Amino acid sequence: MLPDYDCVVVGAGLVGAAQALALSQQNLKVVVIEARQPVAGVVGGDVRGLALSPSSRQAIEALGLWPRLVGQITLIRHIHVSDQGRFGFTRLSADDVDTDALGYVCPADHLLQVFESALIEQCDIRWGTKLVSIDTSAEFARIRLHDGSGSHDITARLVIGADGMQSRVRESLGAVVHQRDYQQHAVVANVDLQNPVSETAFERFTPSGSLALLPLTGGRHVVVRCCDDSDLERVLQLEDNQYLAELESGFGHRFGVLSNVSQRRAHKLVLQWADRVVQHRIALIGAAANTIHPNGAQGLNLGLRDAVAMALCIGRVQACGGDIGDIACLSEFAAKRSVDRRNVMRFTDGMAQVFSSKLPLIGVLRDAAMLATDICPLAKRSLIRRAAGLFTGPTLTDLEVGR
């Protein structure tokens, strides 16, 4: 008896969509389960600008979706990191590592629309459907779903949870979740700058929280302001001119007058990770496996690397006629991803801890480290490769998917 599907992907966000598309292009029978309805061309609900690393571009190109982003992508060739009111700064450039770009910024709304359109074209997707439970005691995983017509079961060789921080798949797996609350929110908005700096992203650490500025197309910029939970209500209730004035002060007035601020949206900042990400016929990827601090813009890129690694692992098992839901296959995936995940978590968490410290000695040491990095080519290249996600390794093109 054959299962209904080779793979069930729970979650139709960017990481889940990338996973489903990659597996569908390997001629696997895949279904995507998503509790919400499609965005259906709705624009303006998500003001974020998502930073994509070069490795993420490779994955998106292999899925055939990069051309659909042309006109919405802004290159980042330079990154400027500084410490407000102190002497520390570091300047990073694509020229330092002989690459075209350190990253690319795309409006979140547009990126999600492109991925959802591809899902609708290429995959079986069930909108408005919730995962109820997963039973792995039988030969295949039995997945109970609930939609507008009631509850029903489907079977699959493998269930992949890409359903975010509150993952139902993770609950079914029985993983223990560890969490560190940074007691901060990231407030995101779009603004115009009087004096923009071309192809450059800025990260500015201030006593009240970090500031990040990313360029968008059309001269707009996305600004991310981290603030303590205790200050969130005040920040959100500021008049636009007051909010812009605080941003101008935080950035040292280097961009002149800021104007035309969009609606502000707040996102809670936590570090969260599961003690295990696989069991027989179940695997976790993206934020279902771990959620990290947004400094360095690593979260989405880490999740996309999860999807690439899973697709490659499944491709190898398929080629050998093996069982893609077998724990040996999934353990290989988990082992290969553990180092990258651990390194990125330590990097982003370390930055959050060091730059939030108000101890004078820590401030002196971090500024000295920033200056040393700025003048030391080896240290600079190492930081660029870590911050921009530059690395050599397998990509989806190794599968020759869809060729």
Above 60 in pLDDT, residue 17?
yes
Above 90 in pLDDT, residue 217?
no
Query: Quick check: pTM over 0.95?
Result: no
What token pair was written down for 134? 């997963």
Nearest CA to 31 out of 200, 147, 181 is that of 147
Give the pLDDT score at 292: 87
- Is residue 182 within 8 A of residue 227, CB to CB? The reply is no
User: Considering only the top CATH level, what class is 180-268?
Assistant: alpha beta
Give the residue range(s) of CATH 3.30.9.10 domains in the chain: 180-268
- Measured CA to CA, the distance from residue 389 to residue 340 in angstroms comes to 10
Pairing mode of beta strands 30-33, 89-93: unpaired
- Measured CA to CA, the distance from residue 12 to residue 20 in angstroms comes to 9
- Is residue 203 within 8 A of residue 79, CB to CB? The reply is yes
Above 50 in pLDDT, residue 402?
no
Above 50 in pLDDT, residue 226?
yes
Give the residue range(s) of CATH 3.50.50.60 domains in the chain: 5-73+104-179+274-393
**Using N-to-C axis directions, what is the helix angle for 299-319 and 14-24, rounded to 10°?**
20
Q: Which residue has the higher pLDDT, 400 or 279?
A: 279
Give the pLDDT score at 262: 92
Beta bridge partners of 7: 30, 158
- Measured CA to CA, the distance from residue 82 to residue 339 in angstroms comes to 28
5 burial (CB, 10 Å; 0-12 / 13-18 / 19+) is: buried
- Measured CA to CA, the distance from residue 297 to residue 299 in angstroms comes to 6
pLDDT in tens, 306-325: 999 999 999 999 888 899 99
Q: Which residues contact 379 (CB under 8 A, 6 or more apart)?
A: 372, 373
Which of 241-260 are b and which e, b meaning 16 or more Cβ less than 10 Å from the residue's Cβ?
Answer: eebbebbbebbeeebeebee
What token pair was written down for 292? 């990290």
Give the pLDDT score at 367: 67
Question: How many other CB atoms are found less than 10 A from the CB of residue 291?
Answer: 22
- Measured CA to CA, the distance from residue 294 to residue 77 in angstroms comes to 19
Give the pLDDT score at 403: 39
What CATH number labels 5-73+104-179+274-393? 3.50.50.60
- State the pLDDT confidence band at 242, using cuts at 50, 70 and 90: very high
Q: Which residue has the higher pLDDT, 217 or 5?
A: 5
Above 50 in pLDDT, residue 31?
yes
Above 90 in pLDDT, residue 185?
yes
Above 50 in pLDDT, residue 110?
yes
Residue whose structure tokens are 């968008």: 216
Q: Which residue has the higher pLDDT, 378 or 282?
A: 282
Q: What is the 3-state secondary structure (H, E, C) of the chain?
A: CCCCEEEEEECCCHHHHHHHHHHHCCCCCEEEECCCCCCCCCCCCCCCEEEECHHHHHHHHHCCCHHHHCCCCEEECEEEEEECCCCCEEEEEHHHHCCCCCEEEEEHHHHHHHHHHHHHHHCEEECCCEEEEEECCCCCEEEEEEECCEEEEEEEEEEEECCCCCCHHHHHHCCCEEEEEEEEEEEEEEEEECCCCCCEEEEEEECCEEEEEEECHHHEEEEEEEEEHHHHHHHHHCCHHHHHHHHHHHCCCCCCCEECCCCCEEEEEEEEEECCCEECCEEECHHHCEECCCCCCCHHHHHHHHHHHHHHHHHHHHHCCCCCCCHHHHHHHHHHHHHHHHHHHHHHHHHHHHHHCCCHHHHHHHHHHHHHHHHCHHHHHHHHHHHCCCCCCCCHHHHCCCC
Give the pLDDT score at 112: 93
First-to-last alpha carbon distance for the chain, in angstroms, is 30
